[in-house]
Structure 1
Amino acid sequence: MSRIVYLNGQWLPEDEAKVSIFDRGYTFADAIYEVTAVIGGKLLDYPGHVTRLKRSLEAIGIPMPVGENELLDLHHEIVAKNGVDEGLIYLQVSRGAEDRNFLYSEDLKPTFSMFTQAFPVLANPKVESGITVVSMPDGRWVNRQIKTVQLLYSSLAKMEAKKQGADDVIFVEDGFITEASSANFHIITRAGVLVTRHLSNALLHGITRGSVLGLAGKADLQFEERAFSVEEALDAAEAFVTSATNFVMPVVSIDGKAIGSGRPGASTLKLREIYIADKLAHAIGR
């Protein structure tokens, strides 16, 4: 059954939605995106995603395509039109379309699209086993705090990780871990301290990351925001990644070497339960 998608003010079957070949999202990756999780037809962590969307658009000079109230209505409507009970909403805003040129017109009308994906955000089978990662040099552009669609390096790196038999990649720059291919990376030390990379342009300012830090105390965890190396991560008791698609996902090995017991850690799983309970309690429905 074809999904109903949103494109520039229209609701269309997915096979009827067309974007110009001259769109700068296609020719220059000149676009911003966001992903919001849906459980029980309700939106999780939605205010944070809207705030980051506005910040990313402002950073590269693309205007918001619609007002905040209309944006929320569109999220509710796309959930209803596609009968989404559990899954994801992808939103993308490009600068717009015109003949290819490195210089762009300042009055372009943005291209704005939304679509849904069914996805087991709650019953993700990887939670039970945890995921494995390999380390690679971070070759992405420097402004990673902006959530652009420039994801080629991450995609190629994740494919290489798959070839090596791992689930994902963690990027390393100047001897320190920045983040995973599409998630923030964290460790829990043997002393029971949650350590996460401090915010900068080296990594995406994750919405789930921020929520988890705010809930750390409920899991009896103190936290520190600082840089840490692969060696420190391997010496940790536990590790995990956070994202809108995976919530809190245990990481059990790096480069084939086990972290802690090599199984999902108790504190990580507790933090996942606390996060899910909190977000369900504050999910936004129509």
Structure 2
Amino acid sequence: MNTFSEEDTQDKINQLQAIINNSDNETQRIKSIQLLKEGGIKNFNYFKFVENLLISDANSIIRNLAVEIIKNNFLKDNYKSIKIFKALCWAYENECSIECLLNIISTIGEIDSSLSRDFLLTKLNNIEIFEFNNYITKLKQNYDFKTFNNKKLAYLLKNYHIVKNFIHNFELVSYRFQNGDIIELDFSFAYNNDFTNSIIKTLPKIMNHLKDLQSLNLKYNKLENIPRFIKYLTSLRFLNLSNNNIKKIPSFISKLSSLEYLDLSWNNIQCIPEEIERLKNIKTLNLQHNRNLSFTMSLFKLQKRGVKVNI
């Protein structure tokens, strides 16, 4: 961490705060708060400044960075814990950015207090989605919620908001839970319905929070690219990207170390990266109906390993 020295701390803080408060250039504002984030400042006035950004700034990136600063710089200061908790609760009720909301929930889960616990339990007891509410009820029946720490409760609440966001944005989504984890997501239902809003053109970034996701079905959508963050879904065993508009398979697909089944059929793929042979657990690779795709050495090597390659 780059901390500011005693001599220049206040001058730098004042300059950066002035940019954040007064500049119309959002890039400069974001860069300035990132510099403050790296500074490791922990005084009370700085906390009040960051708290104000969290609850009132119009830029969701800056609000998210404010949460990060509170988490990294102030969460361990017991004398501020009530103030932090109140600010985060207000932000939770009023936040419109899903990324920022998930960060707020995680930070509340880091607070080891009865106030934080009661807040999380109250939210989990007032779930709006019927299926998720049933799941929470069954979870209570099978496990003693008293043994769940605040981080686990926050994790459950995050998963609820992720599912809620998917339903709101895409209307049709099927999901399955296991021990509090979202392990399956299916967005393929749009094809057989008239819900045009359900068609996915870009994968939502919040998906990178689903570290325990094992199955992802994106068949019959309009994806053109595979986003970089998908490489963090290292628990994925089943991935169906068939019937989209994908033209290129990125090399980071090889990071999906648990992947066993990969369906890329009915796309516009022209080449396969050599890195695909690093998928050590792959058993089936479907590349059928990609008109301009040819059989490559990497595919030959996979086939030689006993992988079922359809092209």
Band of TM-score, shorter chain: under 0.3
Structure with bigger strand share is 1
Structure with bigger helix share is 2
Flag the structure with larger Rg.
2
Choose between structure 1 and 2 for higher RCO, CA contacts under 8 A separated by at least 6 residues. 1
TM-score, normalized by length of structure 1?
0.23
